[in-house]
Amino acid sequence: MAANHLTSDDMEQYVEKQMGDRARAAMDEHLAACAICGARVARGQKLDAALHALPRARAPQDLAARISAAVEWRMEQERARRARMPLIAVALSFSLLLAVWFGLEMIIAFQDNGVLDFLAVFTSHSEFSYSPDTLMALIEALPLSEVGLMLFALVTALVLAQQLVDTIRPNAMQFRR
């Protein structure tokens, strides 16, 4: 029986005296034969005695009230979070519509300014060298305001999408505090 050592649960039950007489007798037999388990149980008993010797602080009188207030506060936060969900969904929809609108405006501006044609000529004739003025003309032809607005609308849509996901499925770490 010395080859089969006791589990941590067995030792804890033995130290805490939470087992029947037959099981305790079998454990006593094993502990008499197994020095390893005997040493582990002795350490457990010393630790148990030290823990029981520590002074115990009384729970504050208002502990139950504070716990109830914290639970109510969390529930109110959950209700407020759920109440914001439709507003975030509407804002996300409008942001996506704006991103599509600005994307279409950007494509139209690319076509109106001839940027796509200029890029086609610029990339297809690599044997020509272009002056810095040519590159500046390309940059001036780019619809930077439409590109910027579309990027801003996309970033806004991404932020709102993240908020919507957080509203639907809150972060698990938030409740472990």
pLDDT, mean of residues 22-38: 87
pLDDT the model gives residue 3: 57
pLDDT in tens, 104-162: 888 888 788 777 776 676 677 666 566 677 677 777 777 888 888 888 888 998 988 88
- Determine the Cα–Cα distance for residues 86 and 75; give it in Å rounded to an integer: 19
Tell me which of 69 and 117 has the higher pLDDT. 69
Distance of CA 127 to the CA centre of its chain: 53
pLDDT the model gives residue 66: 92
Q: How far is the CA of 149 from the CAs of 18, 103, 144, in angstroms? A: 70, 9, 8
- Determine the Cα–Cα distance for residues 122 and 86; give it in Å rounded to an integer: 48
- Determine the Cα–Cα distance for residues 131 and 141; give it in Å rounded to an integer: 16
Contacts of 118 by beta carbon, 8 Å cutoff, 6+ apart:
137, 138, 141
pLDDT the model gives residue 128: 59
pLDDT the model gives residue 122: 65
pLDDT in tens, 85-94: 888 889 888 8
Q: Which residue type does 76 have?
A: E
pLDDT the model gives residue 170: 64
Q: Highest-confidence range of 13-27, 66-80, 126-140, by mean pLDDT?
A: 66-80
Q: Does position 40 have pLDDT exceeding 70, yes or no?
A: yes
Domain boundaries, the chain: 8-53, 74-176
- Determine the Cα–Cα distance for residues 107 and 14; give it in Å rounded to an integer: 78
Contacts of 168 by beta carbon, 8 Å cutoff, 6+ apart:
85
Lowest mean pLDDT among 22-31, 69-78, 106-115, 147-156: 106-115
Q: Does position 56 have pLDDT exceeding 60, yes or no?
A: yes
Q: Are 105 and 146 in contact (CB under 8 A)?
A: yes
What does the mean pLDDT of the chain come to? Answer: 81
pLDDT the model gives residue 7: 85
Q: Calculate what percentage of the chain has a pLDDT beyond 90.
A: 6
Q: Does position 71 have pLDDT exceeding 90, yes or no?
A: yes
